[in-house]
Amino acid sequence: MKCIVVDDEPFALELAADYVRRTPFLKLAGTFSNPVKTLAFLMEQEVDLIFLDINMPELSGMQLLAALPRKPMVVFTTAYPEFGAESYNYDAVDYLLKPINYARFLKAVNKAVELQNLKRKDNTAQSPAERAAPIQDRSNVLIKSGTQTFKLKLEDILYVEGAGNYMAFCTRGKKILSLLTMKEVLNLLPADQFVRVHKSYIVSLNHLDVIERHQVTIAGKAIPIGLTYREQFLAKAGNQ
């Protein structure tokens, strides 16, 4: 598994790098103390996993991750426990508190390996069309999440949100993560009921509570409208 370590503290950087080197199935592709240089590297190179410090100058670890168009798996490393809850908004594999011992490091790595194996199994066993789980009828859709398949009523889907390498199907009672692309989700959902409003969001036209020029509100959640999608969205919403 190809990985990098990003930390502005020299001791923490070298310790994590040493842990990577002593782990046989990890390959260290680089170490970085500057998040801006890390971003430039990741725009050119693909890695499987980042060990990423959160509190850094210029860009925080979370800001760095948010800036990446395609996000690798990430294990956050920090001395600040208060970032723990927020880290899961970025689909972090794990969250390690400094000082990090090797046993805890290895536990996080094993989680990443399991997730990578699951992705490979899905991609090998099924074509993109099969992974997209075609609509069974005009009222339901099948969504594959890991080893489970969920049957969702189209009328229950409020919106779909991009979440790293996953798409999150959001209803009032649950959120289901599926290893799909935005394009696959758009092909999956009926265009007369769902429309893309942002690079990261598809919304149900049937659940719009408030429509504003720059955002919509669904079940209390404000969802931005991207300039690229505004005209098409307003045209569809106006026909409802």
DSSP string, 91-130: T-SEEEESSPPHHHHHHHHHHHHHHHHHHHHHHHHS-HHH
* Chain position carrying tokens 């404000």: 222
State residue 89's pLDDT score. 61
Considering only 18-27, 56-65, 124-133, 140-149, which range has the smallest mean pLDDT? 124-133
Instruction: List Cβ neighbours of 51 (8 Å cut-off, separation of 6 or more).
Output: 3, 4, 5, 6, 7, 16, 20, 75, 77, 96
Domains of the chain: 2-125 (3.40.50.2300), 129-238 (2.40.50.1020)
**CA dist., res. 21 & res. 24, Å (int):** 7
Across the chain, where does the E strand assignment appear? 2-6, 27-32, 49-53, 73-78, 94-97, 140-145, 148-153, 159-163, 166-170, 175-178, 194-198, 201-204, 210-211, 215-218, 221-224
- Is residue 131 over pLDDT 50? no
The whole-chain average pLDDT of the chain stands at 86
Q: Which of 134-138, 160-164, 165-169 has the lowest average pLDDT?
A: 134-138
Q: What tens digit of pLDDT does each residue of 28-64 get?
A: 999 999 999 999 999 889 999 999 998 888 888 888 8
pLDDT digits (tens, 9 = 90+) for 164-219: 778 999 999 899 999 888 988 998 999 889 999 999 999 999 999 999 989 999 99
Residue 71 banded pLDDT, cuts 50, 70, 90: confident
What's the pTM value of the predicted model, to 2 decimals?
0.52
Instruction: Let me know how long the chain is.
Output: 240
Q: Do 35 and 59 touch, CB atoms closer than 8 A?
A: yes
Alpha helices in 59-206 (DSSP H): 61-67, 84-87, 102-125, 128-131, 182-188
91 or 131: which carries more pLDDT confidence?
A: 91
